[in-house]
Each structure stands twice: as structure tokens, then as C-alpha cells.
């Protein structure tokens, strides 16, 4: 009997140790699902409603593009020009704010967040950016405010507590060199706000991303939060730090990125050479970098030819599956439900 009791106690202690280990170690190394501007295929982008739906559909991270207001509050908009994503044109009190500016070498005409206080922006309402492509989203025009970074952090924390999942945020610093040049630098403000939220560790549920290089290098010295260097198939960083994105994807270029960044966020097309996988994922991994490509969308116009013509959302699901087979570590999508379905496949 004593032998049986001893055996039972040993089994119980072994089980306890196993449970403890499972709680302290990741359940899996599955790729992370990043909701691009929220569930932006189903709700107007960069609204709390889009972020809420993305979380409901299984997103691990919600992505706000960040731009500053006149009073230096960080808010979520795809661009600082808001004529296409809000109803500002319908507000006669702001008609005189319409102007033309040069941003990253491009002339842009419209209304800009840096010319509005937060209180003024809060009188506006979000509109669908692509109404002809996403008429269902346009039905929500006029319902939602422009959210602040603080509101997005609060949402992620609240939904983490409610769901028992860790919901992270994946902010992009938009046009950091431009904003610094006009007296509205954003890097320090972002780090300060994340630190106030308790997020200043490498294991915090946060990634900071940028298409520029110099601000990521500065951020590398300011915070322990993981940094992602965004890359495109053409062009170069707006800060002039590198001659081209192509130069940054050579083995030497990737090794240089790895000195300040945790990973890269390439345009999804960069994973392919025609219909054949490119060496980018393998080369990035060899440099010690994670790979989070962008952006997987269900509409036919966004699908490569080999995935077009499939019923429903089968095309984008197949496209995501093909990227997962290359060993990517995460991915951006406008349709988190489709992404979750592919992420969770056995």
C-alpha cells in the first residue's frame, strides 16, 4: 500500500511539474496573426470597431498606423492626410485647413492630422477608404471616431483580460523624419506611452515597425521592444539611410538590419520569384531575423494570378497557406478570420 501511495505521489508531482512547465513555456511556435488596421476588410480601417472585430476573429496583434495631432497626441490613421478616411470635407468649419504639403518627396493635398487638435479630430467620423471595393464597409461611414493610441492600448488590455489571450499591438511609425522636421517627433512619445503601459521589454506584446531606418536605429537605443524593418519590392527608405530596399534584402543587407531589428516586414510579393519561392525567408532566418509579410487581402485585385478565380475567400486562404509553407513567422491580413483558419490548421 505504501508503494502504491508513493507511486501515486510521484505521478502527481510529475504531473504538477509538467503543468508548471507548460504554463511557463509557449504552447507552440505558431506564426502570429496581425490584423492589418484591424479587420479592415469588414469595417472601416483604424477604428475601435475594426480592432474589436479582429480580436473576436482570432488576431494575436492589432495594428495601428500612428500619426500625431497638433497637440502631439498619437492617433491611428493610415496617413496624416485624412480627406479620404474621415468626413472632414463635410465640416465647413475646417474648410480653410485644406492645404498642400510635401511629404517624403510627394506633394499631397488635403487635411492633415498635425493641423488639428485631438478635440477637433474627435468631432470627425471615420469613412471607408476604399468604398467602391468595400461597399459593405461604407455602410459604417459616420459611426466611429478616430481612436488614440491610448484607447487602442486600453482595448488590447481589456480584451486580453476578457478572453484569456494575450492581445498585442503592432504600431507603425508613419513618416517619422517628416514629423520630426515640422516639430512633431513621434518616436520618444511612442516609447513613453508604451512604457507607461508597462511595455518596455523584449517579451512585451508589442512590435514597432517602420519603413524608415534611422528612427528604428534610434528606437533600438531607447526601448527593448522588438522592432520590425518594413521593406517594399521597389523604392527606398524615405530617410535616405539606404539606397534601396533591394540592397537591404541581400545577405549583407539583412545582417545590417539584424543589428537593430528583430525582424523584417516585407511586401508579400517579395517571397516569390514568379511562382517559385524566393530565398528571402531563408536568408532572413539565417541572419537571425523573423519574417512578417504584408498584406493578405481577399479581393481579386490583390491576389496573385495563381490564386485568382476561386470561390469566396479560398484564394487568400491558399495564398496565406503558401506563405506559411515557406516558414514565415507571422503575417498581416485585412481578414483575420481567414488568417486564423490558416494559422490554426494542423
- How many Å apart are CA 282 and CA 155, to the nearest integer? 35
Q: How far apart are CA 106 and CA 140, in angstroms?
A: 31
User: What integer pLDDT is reported at residue 170 of this predicted model?
Assistant: 98
Radius of gyration in angstroms for the set of CA atoms belonging to the chain, rounded to a whole number: 22
Q: Are 60 and 33 in contact (CB under 8 A)?
A: yes
What's the pLDDT at 29? 80
What CA–CA distances, in Å, run from 136 to 40, 133, 140, 205? 11, 9, 8, 31
Cell representation of residue 7: 507511486
Q: Which three cell numbers stand for residue 165?
A: 489571450
CA 105 – CA 102 distance, rounded (Å): 6
Mind listing the pLDDT tens digit for each residue in 235-265?
999 999 999 999 999 999 999 999 999 999 9
Give the pLDDT of residue 26.
36
Class of residue 151 by CB neighbours under 10 A (exposed 0-12, middle 13-18, buried 19+): middle
Please name which of 247, 251, 220 lies closest in space to residue 236, comparing C-alpha atoms.
Answer: 247
Kindly give, in sequence order, each residue whose CB lies less than 8 Å from that of residue 59, ignoring residues fewer than 6 positions away: 33, 34, 35, 39, 167, 336, 339, 340
Cell 479560398 belongs to 314
How far, in Å, CA of 103 to CA of 111, rounded?
13
Hey, what's the cell of 57? 476573429
Candidates 80, 85, 87, 86; CA nearest to 112 is: 80
Q: Which residue ranges in the chain fall short of pLDDT 70? A: 1-28, 346
Is 167 in a helix, a strand, or coil?
Answer: coil
Cα separation, 296 vs 268, whole angstroms: 8
pLDDT of residue 314: 98
Q: Are 216 and 226 in contact (CB under 8 A)?
A: no
Q: Say how far apart CA 115 and CA 298 lie, in whole Å.
A: 35
Secondary element (H or E) of residue 208 = strand 207-210
pLDDT of residue 11: 37
Q: What is the DSSP letter of 267?
A: B
Give the model's pLDDT for residue 20. Answer: 32
Cβ burial of 136 (10 Å; 0-12, 13-18, 19+) is exposed
The domains of the chain, with CATH numbers, are 30-80+127-343 (3.20.20.190)
Amino acid at each position: 500500500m505504501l508503494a502504491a501511495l508513493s507511486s501515486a505521489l510521484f505521478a502527481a508531482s510529475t504531473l504538477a511539474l509538467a503543468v508548471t512547465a507548460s504554463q511557463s513555456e509557449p504552447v507552440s511556435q505558431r506564426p502570429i496573426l496581425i490584423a492589418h488596421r484591424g479587420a479592415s476588410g469588414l469595417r472601416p480601417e483604424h477604428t475601435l470597431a475594426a480592432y474589436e472585430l479582429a480580436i473576436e476573429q482570432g488576431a494575436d496583434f492589432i495594428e495601428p498606423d500612428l500619426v500625431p495631432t497638433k497637440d502631439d497626441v498619437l492617433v491611428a490613421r493610415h496617413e496624416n492626410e485624412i480627406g479620404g478616411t474621415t468626413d472632414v470635407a463635410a465640416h465647413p468649419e475646417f474648410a480653410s485647413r485644406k492645404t498642400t504639403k510635401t511629404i517624403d518627396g510627394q506633394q499631397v493635398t488635403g487635411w492633415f492630422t498635425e493641423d488639428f487638435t485631438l478635440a477637433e479630430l474627435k468631432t470627425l467620423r471615420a469613412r471607408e477608404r476604399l468604398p467602391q471595393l468595400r461597399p459593405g464597409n461604407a455602410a459604417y461611414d459616420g459611426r466611429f471616431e478616430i481612436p488614440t493610441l491610448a484607447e487602442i492600448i486600453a482595448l488590447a488590455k481589456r480584451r486580453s483580460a476578457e478572453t484569456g489571450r494575450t492581445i498585442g499591438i503592432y504600431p507603425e511609425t508613419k513618416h517619422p523624419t517628416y514629423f520630426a522636421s515640422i516639430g512633431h517627433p513621434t518616436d520618444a512619445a511612442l516609447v513613453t506611452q508604451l512604457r507607461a503601459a508597462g511595455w518596455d521589454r523584449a517579451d512585451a506584446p508589442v512590435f514597432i515597425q517602420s519603413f524608415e531606418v534611422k528612427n528604428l536605429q534610434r528606437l533600438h537605443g531607447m526601448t527593448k521592444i522588438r522592432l520590425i524593418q518594413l521593406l517594399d519590392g521597389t523604392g527606398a527608405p524615405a530617410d535616405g539611410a539606404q539606397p534601396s530596399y533591394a540592397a537591404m534584402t541581400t545577405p549583407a543587407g539583412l545582417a545590417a538590419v539584424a543589428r537593430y531589428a528583430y525582424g523584417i516586414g516585407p511586401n508579400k510579393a517579395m517571397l516569390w520569384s514568379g511562382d517559385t519561392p524566393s530565398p528571402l525567408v531563408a536568408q532572413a532566418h539565417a541572419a537571425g531575423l523573423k519574417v512578417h509579410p504584408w498584406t493578405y487581402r481577399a479581393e481579386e485585385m490583390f491576389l496573385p494570378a495563381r490564386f485568382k478565380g476561386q470561390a469566396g475567400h479560398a484564394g487568400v486562404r491558399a495564398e496565406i497557406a503558401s506563405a506559411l509553407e515557406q516558414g514565415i513567422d507571422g503575417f498581416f491580413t485585412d481578414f483575420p478570420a481567414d488568417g486564423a483558419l490558416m494559422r490554426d490548421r494542423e
